[in-house]
Every structure is written in structure tokens, then in C-alpha cells.
């Protein structure tokens, strides 16, 4: 059984849709992202997964089961701020829209683990927010 990373990414985009009515573009990461328009943009991307060592990993199991930590990065790019402090309400809003939620009652909730000011370039302030959820990978032996 594998975790549906694309499903999680689509769900995150859906959860952040209230930002569109505030003038922000919300979309999954694209190879050619382009400059933000309006007030800015929110980009969602699968970052990585970390897997635990399977229990009894020195013995060939009939079923391989591993814990999986799945990370997504939310990049917030804001236009025309006078300072980085103008981003704080948006960072809080994104955190509130995602933290403690999940696509289905069977999924584990998502929570924030990191946040970073990436700096300013050509009038665009960028911030990175890392969110994580826990799952598991399972494969039946042959």
C-alpha cells in the first residue's frame, strides 16, 4: 500500500483556495512558475519522504511495513511589501488553513515543522513553510 502523494498535494491546493479571493494565485509547483501577480502566489510542492527501518530488517518478512514521514513545502511569494512583517498574517492564515486537517477521516493530520524567510529579490518576498504528515508503506512479500 502506498500513500497517495498527488492526492495530498491536490487536497492542500483545495484547502488554500480561500486565498484566491484575497488576490493570491494558489497552485502546485510547475517547472516554469513565473513571477507572482496580484498580491502574490502560493506554490505547493511535494518535498520528500523519510522511511523508518522495517522491524526485524535483517530477516526477510512476509510483509514489509515502514513508517513514512511525508513533507510538503508551501512557498509564499508576496509582492510590494514594505517589509517582511507584512507576510506574518498570511503565514498565520496558511498555518490555520492546513494544521490539524486531513483529506479523509482515515488519514493522519498534517502539521507544520519549519518556516523560513527566504529573503527578497526584485520586490518579491519569499517564505518557505514545511508541513508533514505521517503514513506507512506496506508491501506483501513474494
pLDDT tens sequence across 64-105: 788 889 999 999 999 877 666 678 899 999 999 999 988 877
The CA R_g of the chain, rounded to the nearest whole Å, is 18
pLDDT value for 107:
78
pLDDT of 135:
84
Average model confidence (pLDDT) for the chain?
85
CATH 3.10.20.30 describes domain 5-140:
no
Q: Which residues of the chain have pLDDT under 70?
A: 1-3, 31-33, 37, 56-61, 82-85, 141-142
Residue linked to cell 488519514? 107
pTM metric for this prediction: 0.84
Dihedral in degrees, nearest 10, Cα atoms 129, 102, 96, 46: 20
Query: Where do the structural domains in the chain lie, given as residue ranges?
Result: 5-140
Contact 110, 99 (CB under 8 A): yes
Amino acid at each position: 500500500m502506498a500513500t497517495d502523494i498527488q492526492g495530498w498535494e491536490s487536497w492542500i491546493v483545495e484547502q488554500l483556495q480561500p486565498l484566491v479571493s484575497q488576490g493570491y494565485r494558489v497552485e502546485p509547483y510547475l517547472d516554469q512558475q513565473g513571477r507572482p501577480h496580484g498580491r502574490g502566489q502560493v506554490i505547493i510542492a511535494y518535498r520528500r519522504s523519510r522511511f523508518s527501518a522495517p522491524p526485524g530488517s535483517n530477516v526477510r518478512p512476509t510483509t514489509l511495513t515502514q513508517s513514512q514521514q511525508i513533507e510538503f513545502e508551501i512557498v509564499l511569494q508576496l509582492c510590494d511589501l514594505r517589509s517582511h512583517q507584512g507576510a506574518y498574517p498570511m503565514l498565520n492564515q496558511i498555518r490555520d488553513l492546513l494544521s490539524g486537517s486531513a483529506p479523509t477521516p482515515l488519514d493522519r493530520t498534517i502539521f507544520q515543522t519549519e518556516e523560513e524567510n527566504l529573503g527578497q529579490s526584485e520586490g518579491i518576498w519569499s517564505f518557505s513553510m514545511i508541513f508533514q504528515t505521517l503514513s506507512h508503506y506496506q508491501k506483501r512479500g513474494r
